[in-house]
Amino acid sequence: MIVLAAVFAVTGAASNAMGTAFQRKAASTVAQGGGLRLLVELAHRPAWVIGVGGVAGAAMFQALALVNGPMALVQPLFVLELPFALMIAAPLMHRRMPTSVWWSIAGVVTGLALVLAAAAPSGARDQASMVRWVPVLACCLGAMAVAVVVARPGRPPLFRAAVLATASAIGNALTAAMLKSATGIFAGQGLVAFLTAWQTYGFALTGVAAVLLLENALQAGWLAASQPALTIGDATVSLVLAVALFEERIRMGWWLLPEVVGVGFIVWGVVMLSRAVPAVHGATDHGGMTADRHPE
């Protein structure tokens, strides 16, 4: 079951990478803006629709991963989305990735393997009591709301990008937690129980909010500011929610040493890869998007 969960998670990361790449292209073709108006404009872009399809596929694989394994294992594997995105984009843009990018990808993969091998995430629960859910929902939704207020238009672009990406990361982690609970209900109690569970509608709403925050983060500033916050933030918050909600366990004690070393590799690799994205995509704009800004 653990191996199956890992396979589904890696496949989901690849699908999400494709979806994000198309969303990023679509976001680069619309005028600066935010809120629902941005979402309406993006909905008219074929690339954005394709991107949503990739993200939807990722959600399906994520659900399959979460129902087969602990959240503390599944969500960190989505860090692989960034390396996948670069490896997908390079041939599509007829570009060669520098040797330094391959070293960065190796750093992310090595760090992730080290962290997961040392932490050995475990846990079989997929439900939590409302006593646990209420403070988690309050903290996560509150943090997302504060981020939107703090990152209002007029603030420095780099600051806005990082804050909005962090809010999107929190939304992604909360979505994953509710998705795990909802899929557990579906697997154990059937479709009717799934359709009447609050978690089902909760993960749908938070998922949409996270996507909208991501679109605004991509438009706000350099990808080098938003991508690390999004990637590292999602994995970190997901780990906290896995422990707080589902009582999942990771190894502590001296195992913390290789875990910290692995995290260091991941952070270094993600930061370096985020800086490389504009070069691979041929980007010249402030948001790290593709240089092609012509409407599709």
Residue 288 lies in a domain: no
CA distance 293 to 285: 9
Q: What is the pLDDT of residues 56-101, one digit of tens each?
A: 898 899 999 999 999 999 999 999 988 888 887 677 666 777 888 8
The per-residue pLDDT for 36 is: 65
pLDDT at residue number 28? 63
Question: Does residue 293 sit within a domain?
Answer: no
294 inside domain: no
At 292 the pLDDT is 35
Residue 92 belongs to some domain of the structure: yes
Domain count, the chain: 1
* Domain-embedded: residue 289: no
Please give the structure tokens belonging to residue 61. 């694989």
In 3D, which of 118, 86, 89 has the Cα closest to residue 105? 86
User: Above 50 in pLDDT, residue 284?
Assistant: no
Is 295 domain-assigned?
A: no
Q: Is the pTM of this model over 0.85?
A: no
Percentage of residues of the chain with pLDDT beyond 90: 51
**Residue 18, pLDDT score:** 82
CA distance linking residue 105 with residue 80, whole number of Å: 9
Kindly list the distances between the CA atom of residue 199 and the CA atoms of 87, 97, 177, in Å, as whole numbers in the listed order: 34, 41, 9
Domain that holds residue 106: 2-281
pLDDT digits (tens, 9 = 90+) for 6-59: 999 999 999 988 877 777 667 666 665 555 676 777 777 787 788 888 878 988
pLDDT, mean over the chain = 84
More confident residue, 36 or 202: 202
User: CA 185, CA 256: separation in Å to the nearest integer?
Assistant: 34
Closest among 66, 57, 72 to 9, alpha carbons compared? 66
Q: How far apart are CA 284 and CA 45, in angstroms?
A: 21
- DSSP-assigned letters across all residues of the chain: -HHHHHHHHHHHHHHHHHHHHHHHHHHTTS-S--HHHHHHHHHT-HHHHHHHHHHHHHHHHHHHHHHHS-HHHHHHHGGGHHHHHHHHHHHHTT-PPPHHHHHHHHHHHHHHHHHHHHH--B-------HHHHHHHHHHHHHHHHHHHHHT-BTB-HHHHHHHHHHHHHHHHHHHHHHHHHHHHHHHHH-HHHHHH-HHHHHHHHHHHHHHHHHHHHHHHS-HHHHHHHHHHHHHHHHHHHHHHHH--B---GGGHHHHHHHHHHHHHHHHHHHHHHHHHHT--STTS--S--S--
In a domain, residue 11? The reply is: yes
The pLDDT assigned to 200 comes to: 95
Q: Is residue 269 predicted with pLDDT exceeding 80?
A: yes
Tokens of residue 277, six digits: 């994205």
Q: How far apart are CA 8 and CA 180, in angstroms?
A: 14
